[in-house]
Chains A and B, each alone.
Chain A
Amino acid sequence: MDYALQVLYVDLSARTARQARLDTEISQRYLGGRGIAAYFLSRNATISALDPQAPLIFAAGALTGSRLPAAGRMIVAAISPLTDTLCSCSVGGTLARELRRAGIDMIMITGRSQSELVLRIEDGAVTFEESTCAASAGLEDIFSGFKGFKGAVAAVGRAAFQGCLYANIMVDSTFSSGRGGLGRVMAAKNLRALAVKGRSRTHVCDSQAEELSRTDIMRLFDAAPAIMGRSGIRNYGTGALVDLIAARRMMPTANFRRTYFEDSRAFCAARIKQSMEPGSYACHGCPIACKKKGLHEIPEYETLSHFGALNENSDLAAIIEANRICNSAGMDTITTAATIACLAEIRAERYTGAALVEKVAGIAEGTDELLPLGSARLAHAMGKPWTSMSVKALEMPAYDPRGAYGMALAYATSTRGACHLRAYPISHEILRKPVATDRFTFAGKARIIKIAEDLNAVVDSIGACKFAFLGASLEEYAKGFAAVTGLAYDTQDLMRIGDHIYTLERWINTQRGFSVKDDSLPERFFTEEGSSGAGIEIRPIDRAAFDEALQRYYRIRACGPDGAPTKRRREELGL
């Protein structure tokens, strides 16, 4: 099977675009999405995030356009201006589908335009159009400007142009590139929007086998309570996690000083459903439809919890408004909320209700100087670096690591900073999938995390959604992958590719100066207790046990005690 990715190379300085077929061997080794993005980022691994020549990559997953469920996602990747690590974000919506329809698997954007641009790819033609967006325009207005356009649009908002280091890229007006400030990279290139429309259909090598895989996967979705159950994310969205995480006493509260928020019911999914009666919408080809929208966009679990518990705020209307402002200006809600919570701790204040909304608006409007830089820089500038609840300068999501030790290790080893999605141990430590593990032990977790990181590197490369894996497994998707692409890869072939991708990402970070000293957690988690209660004890994490698990992880990952991939391993992988 001739599997070769089509790459569109765009130079914004010269305003040129060139499409080329990538070498078959490279294409097969990295699949697409996150894998191929890591490959291209590794070719200039030490470049500064905002250097005009630093690449910004949009890469469709290998299964995009197929009939496999929940497999229409893509990756946006660059060096992060917030963390200085490699950063790749899985994004939903329809952009991946349109890219594939346009006959493109990946766009690599370099250079910097003299003036603000819209890059348009339509029916095989690439055009560079001057942007007419007002500097202060909200993303909703920017997307309205594309109203008659039948393709997909990715755009950045005013936060990105004002220098917010956690500005994101929005796709189809509601799907975001989430973390790490990739929107800032796009704005630094003076690129306001990317609009893509294509016509061709995705070629599927074996439609019959594709259908069999689809059926197997759908049956497993139906059998998964976390997906299709009465309280599953299909019904409630990820907000379904609010009650559960609160009950497990691991909901980060008051900038992680506590792990239980008494008022979490104020923003729980059942209450939102009852009071707002939201409808559902989905990424392309996804039967789960986890996105919820009523009069306003319903925030995801992380956003609810961080604008809620992390800021000790029980005002649901304020949470929804804070989320709306973030989406309008194009800002990562996790970092926004966590940075405000960090400031609140430093100043010994609380920002709730209108005060919280005011703080968020201050970031969006560019009137605040330090908050747009993220909690690590803010805490450092204010002389209290220990109050930033981040790893490698990326703020922690809404799972307190004292309540799930696999999560603690995964935050530390993630290649983009404190990320819950690189290994997603919540699936087994909390949601009991594929089987339950003891959340209060490091025993066995080093290899579990390593395997899950490899798995999710594959998931992000084929364009699948991580929620799909609360029901199905790579076993089913591997069969689907072979049917769609014609590449006879089985589960373990894909896992080997995942290992390769993750090691490459780690090697990129190593070259950027990251090492064992950065693979840790804020001191608070080793010294302060969480909020024990209801028969659950939330103790500080044992530092020695954590360090031992980390070193075990390094050995399993074929890294030295400093966290760098060993020379032997690099040679084996040809890095």
Chain B
Amino acid sequence: MMDQVQKYHAKLIRQGLVDTQGAVELYGLDDEIYSNRDGVPEAVSALFGRLNINSLIIARPNPVQWAIIQELSRINQTLICPCDCESLTFIHDIPLVAHLEPSAVAQALNRRKGCIVKDVGIVTTGSVSLEQAFISLSSICFATFVKFFVDCLNGLTGFGARPEARSLDMLSSVMDTCRPLEGVNTLSRVVPKSEDAILESLDQTGKIVVDRRLVDSFFGNISYRDAGIIYISQTGSSLDELPGHIDRVPLDGSSTCELTASSELLAHVRVYEHTGDKAILHGHPRFSVIMSMHGKPLSFDEKRFVADVPVVAGEVGAGRHGLVHTLPAAMEQTHAAIVHGHGTFASSPGTVSEAFDALSAIEHLCYERYQSLMTKYA
């Protein structure tokens, strides 16, 4: 249990979700409570007593993120309703609680996987492992960030209520710090010739995607196609921990081992069929998601563009309104597309490194677009 505490403590800091060691408390419960802190506060014991859970995180996110959450909390008072697709699917809404008072927090966590406690931070839980609490925390950060920027943009450009001056001041003060991370792509550009080389390239790309913060918590997936096999990340795998978590999936569907493969496997299969490409990378770069939501909600059969990058609708998975029905055709010419409110898919005929370049470039483009729209309308 202590291993999990240490692992997710380190991940929260490494991914920039929290700034300092002191800003986060992690608790794992088996028959006793394990924590990164000395001792267990009364409020935490009380929460474990009230909830049938085994994991709890209380964290104050990094200052920019926390400022955004506080601003949304001021506007929304009791409940924040995310607008992006993944958050709608997995966390539904985010309750706001006034104090870290066990009965009030427990009441919120009885309903949802996480909540925001005023002046304290985000509180999340898990009933299987600390990873759930980590994912919920990361998702709440992502959902609130996207909502704040989308609401401001759409409000300013006539697609929603005009933001208050206070919100705009806040936005302009954090805009620069939200710029996508820069860096040289050090990934190999040699087409992998063996299974080991394929796995190595997926591993390296997954790590750089996380390092550049182009993906939220564990969401996102990556694959490479070679000789009738798709090598694809498993469902719920962290892109920075891919070794041992890549499934080998025969393209012809002759094995059902793919049960544990990414929920977007079928979308990858269809994209390969449409593009003839070899590599696909899917991430959740924040400004790509935000810019995909600029304007009216997109109906299922609609398409629009951010610059020359298509934006299509579609839900997670292969259901009736799944992105599997919209994305592949959109990528046929451009080898990249943004799924409305969800994230970017990029493919390449050569290496995953090239797909990473495309994903990263789209995120920078979306950031620049956002900034110029703000300059124009604010």
Q: Which residues of A contact B (CB under 8 A)?
A: 216, 218-226, 228-232, 236, 239-244, 247, 268-270, 428, 430-437, 443-444, 446-448, 451, 454-455, 475, 478, 490-493, 495-496, 498-499, 552, 555-556
State in angstroms the CA–CA spacing of A491 and B50 once bound together: 12
Closest Cβ–Cβ distance, residue A429 to chain B (whole Å): 10
Chain B residues within an 8 Å CB radius of A491: 110-111
Q: Does residue B4 face the partner (Cβ distance < 8 Å to A)?
A: yes
Chain B residues within an 8 Å CB radius of A232: 259
Q: Does residue B1 face the partner (Cβ distance < 8 Å to A)?
A: yes
Q: Does residue B213 face the partner (Cβ distance < 8 Å to A)?
A: no
Are B318's CB and A230's CB within 8 A? yes
Name 15 extra pairs, CB < 8 A, besides A219-B89, A222-B316.
A222-B321, A229-B265, A230-B318, A231-B255, A430-B260, A432-B260, A434-B236, A436-B131, A443-B3, A443-B30, A455-B127, A475-B92, A475-B112, A491-B111, A499-B52
- Residue-wise interface mask of B (50-77) relative to A, using a CB-CB cutoff of 8 A (1 in contact, 0 not): 1111100000000000000000000000
The 8 Å CB contact of A225, one of B4, B111, B262, is B262
**Considering the complex, which residues of chain B in the window 96-114 have a beta carbon less than 8 Å from any beta carbon of chain A?**
106, 109-113
**If the complex has contacts A428-B128, A444-B28, are A222 and B269 also in contact, measured as CB distance less than 8 A?**
no
Are A230's CB and B269's CB within 8 A? yes
The 23 listed contacts between A and B (C-beta, < 8 Å) are: A216-B92, A219-B88, A222-B318, A223-B90, A225-B260, A225-B261, A225-B262, A225-B317, A228-B318, A229-B259, A229-B266, A231-B255, A244-B256, A270-B254, A435-B126, A435-B131, A436-B237, A437-B129, A446-B30, A447-B30, A475-B111, A490-B111, A555-B31
**If the complex has contacts A224-B317, A229-B265, A490-B111, are A447 and B256 also in contact, measured as CB distance less than 8 A?**
no
The 8 Å CB contact of A454, one of B52, B88, B132, B320, is B52
State in angstroms the CA–CA spacing of A119 and B322 once bound together: 47
State in angstroms the CA–CA spacing of A478 and B52 once bound together: 14
Are B51's CB and A492's CB within 8 A? yes
Are B319's CB and A492's CB within 8 A? no
Chain B residues within an 8 Å CB radius of A443: 1, 3, 30
Considering only CB atoms, which chain A residue lies closest to B89 in the complex? A219
Chain A residues within an 8 Å CB radius of B317: 222-225, 228-229
Considering only CB atoms, which chain B residue lies closest to A535 in the complex? B244
Chain B residues within an 8 Å CB radius of A446: 30-31
State in angstroms the CA–CA spacing of A228 and B316 once bound together: 11
Are B259's CB and A435's CB within 8 A? no
State in angstroms the CA–CA spacing of A496 and B277 once bound together: 51
State in angstroms the CA–CA spacing of A67 and B116 once bound together: 32
**If the complex has contacts A222-B317, A222-B319, A434-B128, are A230 and B258 also in contact, measured as CB distance less than 8 A?**
yes
Chain B residues within an 8 Å CB radius of A433: 235-236
**If the complex has contacts A230-B265, A443-B30, A451-B52, are A242 and B256 also in contact, measured as CB distance less than 8 A?**
yes
Closest Cβ–Cβ distance, residue A72 to chain B (whole Å): 20
State in angstroms the CA–CA spacing of A372 and B319 once bound together: 44
Central interface residue in A244, A496, A552, by most chain B CB within 10 Å: A244
Q: Does residue B257 face the partner (Cβ distance < 8 Å to A)?
A: yes
Are A451's CB and B92's CB within 8 A? no
Q: Does residue B253 face the partner (Cβ distance < 8 Å to A)?
A: yes
Chain B residues within an 8 Å CB radius of A444: 1, 4, 28, 30, 54, 129
Considering only CB atoms, which chain A residue lies closest to B260 in the complex? A432
State in angstroms the CA–CA spacing of A454 and B261 once bound together: 28
Are B113's CB and A475's CB within 8 A? yes
**Considering the complex, which residues of chain B in the window 112-170 have a beta carbon less than 8 Å from any beta carbon of chain A?**
112-113, 126-129, 131-132, 135
Considering only CB atoms, which chain A residue lies closest to B92 in the complex? A216
- A-B Cβ contacts below 8 A, count: 163
Considering only CB atoms, which chain A residue lies closest to B29 in the complex? A447
Are B106's CB and A437's CB within 8 A? no
Are B234's CB and A432's CB within 8 A? yes
Considering only CB atoms, which chain A residue lies closest to B111 in the complex? A490
The 8 Å CB contact of A451, one of B109, B127, B258, is B127
State in angstroms the CA–CA spacing of A247 and B255 once bound together: 10
The 8 Å CB contact of B255, one of A243, A430, A499, is A243
**If the complex has contacts A243-B257, A446-B31, A555-B31, are A224 and B263 also in contact, measured as CB distance less than 8 A?**
yes
Are A223's CB and B258's CB within 8 A? no
Q: Does residue B363 face the partner (Cβ distance < 8 Å to A)?
A: no
Are A223's CB and B54's CB within 8 A? no
Q: Does residue B203 face the partner (Cβ distance < 8 Å to A)?
A: no
Q: Does residue B216 face the partner (Cβ distance < 8 Å to A)?
A: no
Are A244's CB and B1's CB within 8 A? no
Q: Does residue B315 face the partner (Cβ distance < 8 Å to A)?
A: yes
State in angstroms the CA–CA spacing of A226 and B234 once bound together: 12
Closest Cβ–Cβ distance, residue B162 to chain A (whole Å): 29
Are A231's CB and B253's CB within 8 A? yes
Are B256's CB and A231's CB within 8 A? yes
Chain A residues within an 8 Å CB radius of B127: 448, 451, 455
Chain B residues within an 8 Å CB radius of A220: 89-90
**If the complex has contacts A221-B319, A443-B3, A454-B52, are A268 and B256 also in contact, measured as CB distance less than 8 A?**
yes
Are B256's CB and A496's CB within 8 A? no
Closest Cβ–Cβ distance, residue B134 to chain A (whole Å): 9
State in angstroms the CA–CA spacing of A443 and B129 once bound together: 11
- Residue-wise interface mask of B (1-18) relative to A, using a CB-CB cutoff of 8 A (1 in contact, 0 not): 101100000000000000
Chain A residues within an 8 Å CB radius of B315: 219, 222-223
Central interface residue in B106, B131, B257, by most chain A CB within 10 Å: B257
Are B31's CB and A556's CB within 8 A? yes
Chain A residues within an 8 Å CB radius of B31: 446-447, 552, 555-556
Closest Cβ–Cβ distance, residue A556 to chain B (whole Å): 5
Chain A residues within an 8 Å CB radius of B236: 432-436
Closest Cβ–Cβ distance, residue B241 to chain A (whole Å): 10
Chain A residues within an 8 Å CB radius of B269: 230
Are A244's CB and B259's CB within 8 A? yes
Chain A residues within an 8 Å CB radius of B131: 435-436
- Residue-wise interface mask of B (300-331) relative to A, using a CB-CB cutoff of 8 A (1 in contact, 0 not): 00000000000000011111111000000000
**If the complex has contacts A225-B265, A475-B113, are A432 and B255 also in contact, measured as CB distance less than 8 A?**
no
Chain B residues within an 8 Å CB radius of A269: 256
Chain A residues within an 8 Å CB radius of B262: 225
Chain A residues within an 8 Å CB radius of B135: 435
Chain B residues within an 8 Å CB radius of A498: 52
Considering only CB atoms, which chain A residue lies closest to B262 in the complex? A225
Central interface residue in A219, A244, A432, A555, by most chain B CB within 10 Å: A219
Are B255's CB and A223's CB within 8 A? no
Chain B residues within an 8 Å CB radius of A224: 263, 317
